[in-house]
Amino acid sequence: MSGSHDRRDMLKVSGLGLAAGVMSGIGAGVGSVLSPQQAYAQAAPASLLRTVLDRKKLIVGTGSTNAPWHFEDEKGQLVGMDITMAHILSQGLFDDPNKVEFVKQDPAARIPNITTGKVDIVVQFMTVTAQRAQLVAFTRPYYLEGVALLTSTKGKLKTYKQLLAAGKAARASVLQNVTADGMVKAALPQATIMQLDTQANAIQALDSGRADTAVIDLSTVRWLVKRNPNAYLDSGFSYWPQIYSAAVRQGDQDWLNWVNTAFTVAMFATEGDLYDKGLEDYFGLKPPVRKPGFPPI
């Protein structure tokens, strides 16, 4: 009897404790937050996290000529999805998305500027590779790039199914490089391939009717279709995935962990306003539905 009685009492206490714990957890998310001074003290003294907080601005290496990732708008302001990711970091650091100094750099300067400390972080559509990861530390991915087939609203072949069925009659333009033929044939095995010196010329070949499809980055396809829905179509097929991440200097786990956390809550939790707006503005994508109860990938 006493054992059964004790068990009922234990369950009652456990239930009350659970309810209190739940309420405590919700309350902690609202009011029981570390002060900035306490949070600051947790970072290792040599961590870039402390340096950035002391400096009161974030220094980001990026580009300025590649829409939809980083480019100048009509006012000369840097915009794009990479720029949005930088603003997300500034928001998390200073509760202000605009405390960012952008260092415009050539893609070849991305790794040197990180390793020499010229910038705090590089956010510049940087493809993750095992070789690059020997030189810099990559953050969690914020986009999965791929190859896609852009078609024209004026063309006879508009969908991937139509392009594939056309066989040799389908003409595909692509940026000239050693892997170009293999990349096209992975999607369109029988297509007639037209290698051109720039991606702009590959797209122009589609515009002029010399090509039925331009084989280009998925992000560029989404950007062009978003901006010019009366001119361009997404054929509905993408492949050859590549990971885009930001890069930081190796050996600073506090800084890397913080950046990963800021990206995670922007992509998967309640701090997603900037990320969601970027997806809509630059890719025409609807924000992801955040479903409680299951951890993000």
197: pLDDT strictly greater than 60: yes
Question: What local confidence, expressed as pLDDT, does residue 35 receive?
Answer: 58
Question: What local confidence, expressed as pLDDT, does residue 286 receive?
Answer: 87
**Residues making up the chain, counted from first to last:** 297
* Interstrand relation of 65-66 and 213-217 (parallel, antiparallel or unpaired): unpaired
The larger pLDDT score, comparing residue 39 to residue 151, is at 151
Q: d(Cα 210, Cα 287) in Å, to the nearest integer?
A: 36
| pLDDT tens for each residue of 245-258 | 999 999 999 999 99
| pLDDT tens for each residue of 159-187 | 999 999 999 999 999 999 999 999 999 99
The larger pLDDT score, comparing residue 292 to residue 190, is at 190
Query: Which of the four pLDDT bands, split at 50, 70 and 90, describes residue 46?
Result: confident
20: pLDDT strictly greater than 80: no
Which residue in 167, 149, 292, 111 sits closest to 232, CA to CA?
149
Question: What local confidence, expressed as pLDDT, does residue 165 receive?
Answer: 98
Question: What local confidence, expressed as pLDDT, does residue 280 receive?
Answer: 95
Q: Is 272 helix (H, G, I), strand (E, B) or coil?
A: coil
191: pLDDT strictly greater than 90: yes
274: pLDDT strictly greater than 60: yes
* CA contacts within 13 A on the Cβ side of 220: 17
CB 106 within 8 A of CB 45: no
Q: d(Cα 43, Cα 248) in Å, to the nearest integer?
A: 16
pTM listed for this prediction: 0.83
| pLDDT tens for each residue of 73-88 | 999 999 999 999 999 9
Question: What local confidence, expressed as pLDDT, does residue 18 receive?
Answer: 39
CATH architecture of 145-242: 3-Layer(aba) Sandwich (3.40)
Question: What local confidence, expressed as pLDDT, does residue 8 receive?
Answer: 37
Question: What local confidence, expressed as pLDDT, does residue 125 receive?
Answer: 96
Average pLDDT, the chain: 88
Q: What are phi and psi of 104, to 5 degrees?
A: -75, 130
Question: What local confidence, expressed as pLDDT, does residue 36 receive?
Answer: 55
CATH architecture of 37-136+249-283: 3-Layer(aba) Sandwich (3.40)
Q: Is 255 helix (H, G, I), strand (E, B) or coil?
A: helix
211: pLDDT strictly greater than 60: yes
Least confident of 19-23, 120-124, 180-184, 229-233: 19-23
Question: What local confidence, expressed as pLDDT, does residue 180 receive?
Answer: 95
**Could you tell me which residues come within 8 angstroms of residue 252 by beta carbon, excluding any fewer than 6 positions away?**
44, 46, 47, 48, 49, 137
* Interstrand relation of 58-62 and 100-104 (parallel, antiparallel or unpaired): parallel
User: CA 271 → CA 36, 167, 261, 263, 274, distances in Å?
Assistant: 19, 47, 11, 9, 8
290: pLDDT strictly greater than 90: no
Q: Taking the domains of the chain in order of start, what are their residue ranges?
A: 37-136+249-283, 145-242
Question: What local confidence, expressed as pLDDT, does residue 30 receive?
Answer: 45
